């Protein structure tokens, strides 16, 4: 979707900014932002942590959830709980992409502002709050498609220089960006919401369905050459894309990703406009579907963990040393 914007200093529309701020986003510059995750709010009060902690050792209270492309995406996924309007479209070429140093600094400062109210909360240990103000992990996944930000490579490098691990989450529509990264994320997530173009496009609603699927397949074929930890991620909606398990198995093996996550859709945020609570799969549903996927390659894929609170299973290649998967700080 092309834009008629000619002023390269323009970023997000003011109406979008006001909507996001009302949803407790902290806006950084013209095109970036941070928001406290549900689990960050819980973990800082010792009320539980997310699956990333259970699976990978990522402490939620020290995790910064951010995006350098907050209002731009190549897809409009019906299961996304973020704002689906993406009124700025799928093209960031008409705006000035801000310096990655200022973007990262703004994100960290934004996280501290959002956490400031917890400093006087009697349920929060002072030492934990102080650690939370020094994030050790950044999930580049908050909203939008982060690979649209042209300084992503340098941004990831700056995150690592600051002592943070990085999870980059992409919908796979920008394989050329991934191919040219010199600073690889600590872990790379690729979202696959359907085993076939028809299923995938019906739920991700890309601006260009044929191109999006072709680009995703390019990304799948690129993954074996990317030397970092890789995850193929499925967000599953009951009675919609929990079909064709053999196709998911084929794509996972083709990608040579280390992990395969099967996560249930949650009816929150804007996703409630598209799918009701009845479309939310239970953990039992997710486990059953995971076994259907494994059935097509029982000697190559296995379930290695699951999280009831996040309604997710973690599968891995049989020969991957997954017991050593956790990060430490």
CA-wise closest residue to 256 among 283, 235, 285, 227: 227
In this predicted structure, the answer to whether residue 79 has a pLDDT above a threshold of 90 is no
Tell me the pLDDT band of 88, cut-offs 50, 70 and 90. Answer: confident
- pLDDT digits 0-9 by tens, 11-25: 888 888 888 888 899
For 36, 108, 132, 159, 163, the CA distances from 116, given in Å and listed in that order, are: 12, 12, 10, 22, 22
Determine the Cα–Cα distance for residues 91 and 211; give it in Å rounded to an integer. Answer: 14
Determine the Cα–Cα distance for residues 236 and 283; give it in Å rounded to an integer. Answer: 11
- pLDDT digits 0-9 by tens, 258-280: 999 999 876 455 655 666 666 67
In this predicted structure, the answer to whether residue 77 has a pLDDT above a threshold of 50 is yes
Name the token pair of 290: 């995971």
CA-wise closest residue to 32 among 69, 74, 72: 69
Share of the chain above pLDDT 90, in %: 63
**Could you tell me the domains of the chain?**
14-324 (3.20.20.70)
Instruction: Please answer whether residues 301 and 316 qualify as being in contact, where contact means their C-beta atoms are separated by less than 8 angstroms.
Output: yes
Name the token pair of 18: 């006001």
Q: Please state the pTM of the whole predicted model.
A: 0.91
pLDDT of the residue at 8: 47
In this predicted structure, the answer to whether residue 4 has a pLDDT above a threshold of 80 is no
In this predicted structure, the answer to whether residue 2 has a pLDDT above a threshold of 50 is no
pLDDT of the residue at 222: 98
In this predicted structure, the answer to whether residue 318 has a pLDDT above a threshold of 80 is no
Give the residues across from 259 on adjacent strands.
231, 316
pLDDT of the residue at 266: 65
- pLDDT digits 0-9 by tens, 131-143: 999 999 999 988 8
């Amino acid at each position: 979707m092309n834009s008629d914007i000619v002023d390269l200093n323009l970023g997000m529309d003011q109406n979008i900014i006001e909507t996001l701020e009302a949803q407790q986003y902290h806006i950084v510059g013209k095109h970036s932002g941070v928001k406290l995750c549900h689990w960050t709010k819980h973990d800082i009060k010792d009320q539980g942590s997310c699956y990333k902690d259970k699976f990978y050792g990522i402490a939620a209270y020290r995790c910064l959830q951010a995006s350098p492309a907050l209002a731009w995406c190549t897809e409009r996924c019906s299961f996304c709980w973020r704002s689906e309007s993406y009124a700025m479209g799928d093209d960031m070429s008409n705006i000035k992409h801000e310096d990655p140093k200022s973007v990262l600094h703004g994100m960290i400062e934004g996280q501290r502002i959002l956490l400031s109210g917890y400093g006087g909360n009697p349920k929060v240990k002072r030492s934990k709050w102080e650690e939370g103000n020094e994030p050790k992990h950044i999930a580049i996944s908050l909203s939008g498609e982060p690979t649209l930000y042209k300084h992503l490579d340098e941004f990831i490098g700056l995150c690592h220089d600051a002592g943070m691990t990085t999870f980059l989450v992409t919908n796979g529509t920008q394989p050329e960006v991934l191919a040219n990264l010199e600073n690889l994320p600590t872990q790379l997530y690729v979202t696959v919401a359907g085993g076939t173009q028809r299923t995938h496009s019906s739920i991700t609603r890309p601006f260009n369905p044929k191109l999006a699927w072709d680009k995703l397949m390019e990304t799948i074929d690129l993954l074996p050459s990317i030397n970092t930890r890789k995850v193929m991620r499925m967000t599953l909606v009951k009675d919609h894309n929990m079909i064709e398990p053999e196709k998911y198995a084929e794509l996972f093996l083709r990608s040579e990703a280390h992990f395969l996550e099967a996560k249930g859709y949650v009816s929150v945020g804007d996703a409630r406009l598209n799918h009701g609570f009845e479309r939310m799969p239970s953990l039992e549903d997710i486990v059953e579907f995971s076994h259907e996927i494994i059935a097509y390659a029982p000697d190559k894929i296995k379930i290695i963990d699951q999280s009831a609170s996040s309604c997710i299973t973690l599968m891995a290649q049989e020969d991957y040393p997954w017991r050593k998967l956790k990060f430490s700080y």
